[in-house]
C-alpha cells in the first residue's frame, strides 16, 4: 500500500528519510521554511546545503506550504531541531486528524523544559498515534546508499508497522521496540558523549582510553534513562550502543566535530559556528546535568564536560574524572537479581 507522507524539516536527516520513502513509491512532501531551498530541490533534485552530491528522487516534492503538506498526509515525520520543534508542532496541531501518525526523529530535549520530543507530540489532543525513530543514522551515509539500521519505538503496533513499510529498503532496515522512553533518551544523551569523544580524539588519546570513554558513557546514559523509566536492555541495541559508536567515532557526527574543534583549541562558539548545522549535544548537556543534580544521579563525564564548556575547567580534568570517580562496578545492570552490582 502506498502512503502520503510529510517530512517536516529541510535538514540532512529529514531529506535522507524523505528520499528513501520517495524511492519506495510513496507520495512524499518535505516542508521547509526557506523558499530558495524549496526551489533548489524541486528544480535541481539537490539539497546542496545539507546533502551536497546526493541526487534526490524526482518524485520528492519540497514545499513551504505547511497546511497543504499536513492535510495531504497520513504520516508525518517531525525532523525539526529541538529549539523549533514545539513551535512547529503547535502550528500543525489544528491540522491534525485522529488517523494521522506522528513520528519524531529529533534527538534532543525541549529547550524550554525537561521534556522529550515525543512528549511534545503527545500534548496534542487529536492523535496519540506517535512513535520515535532513532539509531546510528549518519545522514550523508544514508543518502549515499550505505547500509544501516534504525529503531522505531512505539507502544502502538500499527505505528511501528507503518514506519517499517515506509522506510524498509535494501540499504535501510528498521527494527522494532516498545520502549519509546529508552530509545528517545538514548538518541538524545549520546550527543553529549560524542562531544567528549571528539575532545579526546583531538588530544590523541589511545584506543584503550577511547573504548573506556565510550563504555562509561553508555553506563551514564543507561543510569540516567532507567531513572526516568527506560529499559536498560534498550541501550544494548541500535538506538543505544549502535548510535553511540557511530556518533562517537565519525567526523560526520556534528557533535563529535564540535568536541574535536574544542579539543583543537577553538572556543565553544567558534566550534558550533564552524559546523554550520545544529549540534544538539550542547543544549542537551545543560539540561541533563541539571536533572542529574536534582535527582542525585552520578554522571561524571557529563558533569566534567559541563564544567569544561561553561565554567572554564581544564580539559585534562574531564578524562581524569573517570579515573578518580566513586563508581566501582563495571556493569551497571544485571539480569540476575542475586547480583549485587545493580
| 193 in a known ligand binding site | no
Q: Look up residue 16 and give its three cell numbers.
A: 535522507
- Sequence-ordered list of residues with C-beta below 8 angstroms from that of 121, at least 6 positions apart, any chain: 78, 89, 102, 104, 130
| 231 in a known ligand binding site | no
Please report, in angstroms and rounded to a whole number, the separation of the first and last CA atoms in the chain. Answer: 46
| 145 in a known ligand binding site | no
- Sequence-ordered list of residues with C-beta below 8 angstroms from that of 37, at least 6 positions apart, any chain: 10, 47, 49, 62
Task: For residue 36, give Cα distances in angstroms to 58, 64, 222.
Answer: 18, 10, 42
| 132 in a known ligand binding site | no
Question: Which of the following is catalytic: 190, 286, 294, 314?
Answer: 190
Cβ neighbours of 114 (radius 10 Å): 13
Helix axes 254-263, 180-202, angle to 10 degrees: 30
Is 190 among the catalytic positions?
Answer: yes
| 11 in a known ligand binding site | yes
| 229 in a known ligand binding site | no
| 255 in a known ligand binding site | yes
| 304 in a known ligand binding site | no
| 243 in a known ligand binding site | yes
Contact between residue 281 and residue 289 where contact means Cβ atoms under 8 Å apart? no
| 100 in a known ligand binding site | no
| 280 in a known ligand binding site | yes
- Could you identify the residue written with the cell 515506509? 166
| 107 in a known ligand binding site | yes
The residues with which 116 forms a beta bridge, in sequence order, are 109
Please report the DSSP string for 39-69 in residue order: HHHHHHS-BTTTBTT-PPPTT-EEES-HHHH
Give the DSSP H or E segment for 175.
strand 172-177
| 253 in a known ligand binding site | yes
**Residue stretches of the annotated binding site for NAD(+):** 9-14, 139, 254
Catalytic residues: 190
**Residue stretches of the annotated binding site for NADPH:** 12-13, 33, 50, 107, 139, 254, 278, 280
**Residue stretches of the annotated binding site for sn-glycerol 3-phosphate:** 107, 135, 190, 243, 253-255
**Residue stretches of the annotated binding site:** 9-14, 33, 50, 107, 135, 139, 190, 243, 253-255, 278, 280
Amino acid at each position: 500500500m502506498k502512503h502520503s507522507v510529510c517530512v517536516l524539516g529541510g535538514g540532512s536527516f529529514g531529506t535522507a528519510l524523505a528520499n528513501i520513502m520517495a524511492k519506495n513509491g510513496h507520495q512524499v512532501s518535505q516542508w521547509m521554511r526557506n523558499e530558495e531551498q524549496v526551489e533548489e530541490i524541486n528544480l535541481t533534485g539537490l539539497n546542496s546545503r545539507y546533502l551536497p552530491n546526493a541526487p534526490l528522487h524526482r518524485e520528492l516534492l519540497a514545499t513551504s506550504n505547511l497546511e497543504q503538506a499536513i492535510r495531504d498526509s497520513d504520516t508525518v515525520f517531525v525532523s525539526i531541531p529541538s529549539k523549533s520543534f514545539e513551535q512547529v508542532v503547535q502550528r500543525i496541531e489544528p491540522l491534525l486528524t485522529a488517523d494521522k501518525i506522528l513520528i519524531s526523529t529529533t534527538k534532543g530535549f525541549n529547550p524550554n523544559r525537561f521534556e522529550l520530543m515525543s512528549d511534545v507530540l503527545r500534548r496534542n489532543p487529536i492523535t496519540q498515534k506517535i512513535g520515535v525513530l532513532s539509531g546510528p543514522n549518519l545522514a550523508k551515509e544514508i543518502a549515499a546508499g550505505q547500509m544501516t539500521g534504525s529503531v522505531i519505538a512505539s507502544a502502538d503496533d500499527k505505528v511501528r508497522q507503518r514506519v517499517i513499510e515506509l522506510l524498509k529498503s535494501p540499504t535501510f532496515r528498521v527494527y522494532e521496540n516498545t520502549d519509546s522512553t529508552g530509545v528517545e533518551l538514548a538518541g538524545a544523551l549520546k550527543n553529549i558523549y560524542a562531544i567528549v569523544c571528539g575532545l579526546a580524539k583531538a588530544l590523541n588519546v589511545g584506543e584503550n582510553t577511547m573504548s573506556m570513554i565510550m563504555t562509561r558513557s553508555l553506563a551514564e546514559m543507561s543510569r540516567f534513562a532507567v531513572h526516568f523509566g527506560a529499559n536498560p536492555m534498550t541501550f544494548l541495541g541500535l538506538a543505544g550502543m549502535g548510535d553511540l559508536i557511530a556518533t562517537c567515532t565519525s567526523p560526520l557526527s556534528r557533535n563529535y566535530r564540535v568536541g574535536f574543534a574544542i579539543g583543537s583549541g577553538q572556543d565553544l562558539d567558534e566550534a558550533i559556528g564552524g559546523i554550520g548545522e545544529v549540534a544538539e549535544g550542547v543544549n542537551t548537556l545543560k539540561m541533563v546535568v541539571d536533572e542529574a543534580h536534582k535527582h542525585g544521579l552520578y554522571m561524571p563525564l557529563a558533569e566534567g564536560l559541563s564544567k569544561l564548556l561553561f565554567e572554564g575547567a581544564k580539559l585534562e580534568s574531564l578524562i581524569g574524572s573517570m579515573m578518580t570517580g566513586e563508581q566501582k562496578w563495571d556493569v551497571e545492570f544485571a539480569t540476575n537479581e542475586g547480583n549485587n552490582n545493580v
